[in-house]
Structure 1
Amino acid sequence: MINIISYLLIILGLLVVLYYALDIAWNLLKLVRAYLAPLFLPSEEKSLVHKYGSWALITGSTDGIGKAYATELAKRGINIVLVSRNIDKLQKTQKEIEANYSVKTKIIQADFSLGKKAVDIVKEEIGEIPIGILVNNVGKQYEYPMYLGEVPEEELWDIIKINVGAVTLLCKMFVENMRIRGKGAIVNVSSGSELQPLPLMTVYAATKTYVKNFTQALQYEYASKGLTIQHLAPMFVATKMNHFSDRIHKKSLFVPDAESYAKYAVSTLGVLDDSSGYWTHGIQTFFTKLPPEWIRMYIGGYLNQLFREDYLRNLKS
């Protein structure tokens, strides 16, 4: 009896080791593919209009990743619908794109912290424009790493409505028309914070976990209908969203600027359904996922404590 139990435990242990070995190998394969695919598939970059359609809608498109992503799509000949809450920035971005690329643009002023009201504005303004690519980029972060009790209640509601509500309702708005046409792409921008519970950014990270799970479920529902549903999970990008610490606000090898990130991320569209969007971020994601979740959580909490101290120190000075 003891020998049988010992054999069963050995087999169970081998199965666990095999599971983790296969998981590591699969993630490594995705990392290599993410790094090499944009280098060997330049024709994919030029075929987005043919593959998905001539119009793209990008939310949060006047700063950071959203603006850079819209610009990259315009370079490839795609007409752009810019959606943001600031009309001055919208008009400025529209002029920049039209001055540099031979594409049409449309601007829609919408504040997604208003929830369904903002989505209804987008629906009315779009009219009959056939959106072939939807980029759900708009997002809201904490002002700086905070304990839950410190975060204003209004800010928590805004994070939930923007990060969860907007991505859900905009996917609902466009996915059926894409299904009927038999082509289209939805890009939902999440965050590396989805990889574990994240102390001091508790609600923000939880909303990004929602985006990941929501997007992967959409892949199951609509991939067989001819649609591309992509989940993007960038690590730190040098944008104003990370203004609270110079450690992650300045450009470096592992913290690209928005333009570098977007150029690479767009090249993965139609190639990778799940991606960090940038080659060094793929490396970070691979090594981040190796330790157990509880270790990742404590490392994330420790880093956020450092970022919090940076912000408070700079605030005093």
Structure 2
Amino acid sequence: MENKPIPVPLEATRAFTEIAQWTRVCWHMLKAWGDPAPGSRFEQMNDIYPFEKVSDRARHYISAALEHLLMWADFAVPFKFHPEQTTNVMLRPPMALARAALESAAQAVWLMDGEKPLDCVQRHLRLIRWDLAEHRKSHLEAAGKDRVKRRDAELVARVANAFTEEQILPPQGYLWVIQQACRPDDLDLAAPQAERLWRAMSGAAHGMYWTNLDLMHVEVGEEYEPGHYRTVTVPNLLVLAEALQVGFRMTQYGCLKYLEYAGADLHQLMGPALRWLAENITVKPDADPRILRRLVRNDLQAED
């Protein structure tokens, strides 16, 4: 059977566009802000543990998440379209990007979710030790493993007056971090929903066969052998949109919380980011570009 292209549902198209453009806005805001401001929450954390700054690691996690979503944005919703351009959306690659964004951003969200600066530092240390454990495994030679092992031992000794080694054990994996980062009130994302989508993202990224059954529409054709049929599979783009939305939601929340903890004025950063987007966005031929400019002006006036 021949795979015939089908139009992307309008609901999915809108979701793809919103994710792409707001990812760009978040990226612009993040790049516009420098070091944590004096007296900010991050400065308090960095004062507690200045050896590897909490703010640096948090920014790294958010940057990684945004980079994954920006790759999706540049593919699905580029700033400039060629008149003959066609975008063929498949399931597995964007599901892998959604998963990577969710996992990256969840580390920052969980890190920043401590009640007190010291709680955030403790989570920061746990993430560092997790990173060191994975780094150690990446070395094939004993000398490399030993170097990373010494770094871990030095960290444990450095903070021994504040934390026992058991108190700074690495997290229990990405799913655990994602579940801990879920906040139904702030993120509109509950842990069971996040787990369901994370498993779908992971299964699709790893080529698990069950994703053909749950995440694809299957059209059955001729029976070429007894009990075996030709089939055509079409991605369920509404599931893909939901997965990308969850990855973006965690990323956006983490980005804005990072900027808030760094002492930034979100309104002052949002205005230039929206203006930049308005100047670069591709507008449909039948659309009135003045509408977008008015929306940006109204947003800026509301900030004032």
TM category (shorter chain) comes to: under 0.3
Give the greater-gyration-radius structure (CA).
Answer: 2
Higher relative contact order (CA 8 A, sep 6+): 2
User: TM (normalized to structure 1)?
Assistant: 0.24
Q: Structure 2 length normalisation: TM-score?
A: 0.25
